């Protein structure tokens, strides 16, 4: 309680936005927030900044701009505590193998991509791993390519953006930038593999 003393209270619109985000299961777009709260997108953007600032200082929460919208999430500092709470960790942590991540990377950067294009780049059959990614909802079938065989085309989904903390696919660094970030293609330690 004492942590709030001396701080300016949130504006009415920021309180409304906070309340909506509190009950939302999926990320909520600025447009929808503006519509629900009966204000403009600019005002909502200001309210979001206000909430972000408040959370930054004295909260166990944060706002995430993911999959084209805003989501209320726990702050990274609370990771251990939240992970211990019931089965949050089990239900929310998707564990992907290196093969799955590599396939996702190919789909993300080459979408829409066919299975044979993915396999051509990876040099290995990817049928099973594509099934796993479809099952996790990280990719989706986005039609068929015209031409011989009319193969299925795959695209990443909003769940993919959400899992990697991206607002849109254009937030991904380009492949050239990737090379600069990780010149040797070194992979950080993995937590586990299940696919």
Partner 1 sequence: MGLDVELEGFSGPLDVLCHLVESGGISVAGISVTQLIRVYSDFLMKNERATINEMAAFFSLIARLLLGKLKALLPPSPGEEQSEVDGGSEAELVESVLERYRPYRAAAAALTGMMQARGRSFTRGGSEEGPPWFDLGDLYSLSMVWWEMVRRRREGAGTSPAVLEEDWDGIPTVTPEEEQVEKRMGEIDKLLSSKGSLQMSEVFGPIFSRQAFVVTFLALLEMARLGRVHLVQEVLFGDVRLSR
The residues binding partner 1 (CB under 8 A) are 22, 24-26, 62, 64, 66, 71-76, 79, 82-83, 88, 91-94, 96-99, 101-102, 104-106, 108-109, 119, 121-125, 127, 131, 134-137, 140-141, 152, 159, 162-166, 172-173, 175-176, 178-179, 181-182, 184-188, 190-191
Beta-carbon contacts of 175 under 8 Å, excluding residues fewer than 6 positions away, are 109
Q: Residue 31 or 125: which CB sits closer to partner 1?
A: 125
Provide, rounded to whole angstroms, the least separation between the CB of residue 113 and partner 1: 11
Cα distances (Å, whole numbers) of residue 177 to 162, 183, 189: 21, 10, 21
Provide, rounded to whole angstroms, the least separation between the CB of residue 4 and partner 1: 22
Cis peptide before 123 (omega within 30 of 0): no
Q: Residue 40 or 92: which CB sits closer to partner 1?
A: 92
Provide, rounded to whole angstroms, the least separation between the CB of residue 146 and partner 1: 16
Q: Residue 40 or 93: which CB sits closer to partner 1?
A: 93
Give the containing element (helix H, strand E) for 114. Answer: strand 113-114
Q: Residue 38 or 149: which CB sits closer to partner 1?
A: 149
Is 133 buried (19+), middle (13-18) or exposed (0-12) by CB count in 10 A? buried
The residues pairing with 62 across neighbouring beta strands, listed in sequence order, are 73
Distance of CA 52 to the CA centre of its chain: 18
Provide, rounded to whole angstroms, the least separation between the CB of residue 121 and partner 1: 6
Name the DSSP letter for residue 112: S
């Amino acid at each position: 309680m004492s942590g709030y003393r001396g701080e300016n209270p949130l504006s009415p619109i920021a309180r409304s936005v906070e309340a909506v985000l509190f009950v939302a299961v999926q990320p909520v777009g600025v447009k929808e927030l503006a519509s629900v709260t009966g204000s403009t997108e600019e005002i909502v953007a200001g309210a979001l900044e206000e909430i972000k600032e408040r959370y930054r200082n004295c909260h166990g929460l944060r706002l995430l701009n993911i999959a084209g919208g805003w989501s209320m999430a726990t702050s990274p500092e609370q990771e251990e505590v939240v992970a211990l709470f019931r089965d949050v960790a089990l239900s929310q942590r998707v564990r992907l193998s290196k093969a799955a991540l590599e396939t996702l990377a190919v789909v993300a950067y080459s979408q829409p991509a066919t299975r044979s294009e993915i396999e051509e780049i990876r040099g290995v059959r990817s049928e099973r791993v594509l099934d796993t990614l479809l099952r996790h909802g990280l990719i989706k079938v986005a039609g068929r390519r015209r031409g011989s065989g009319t193969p299925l085309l795959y695209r990443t989904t909003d769940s993919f953006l959400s899992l990697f903390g991206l607002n849109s696919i254009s937030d991904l660094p380009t492949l050239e930038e990737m090379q600069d970030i990780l010149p040797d293609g070194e992979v950080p330690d993995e937590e586990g593999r299940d696919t």
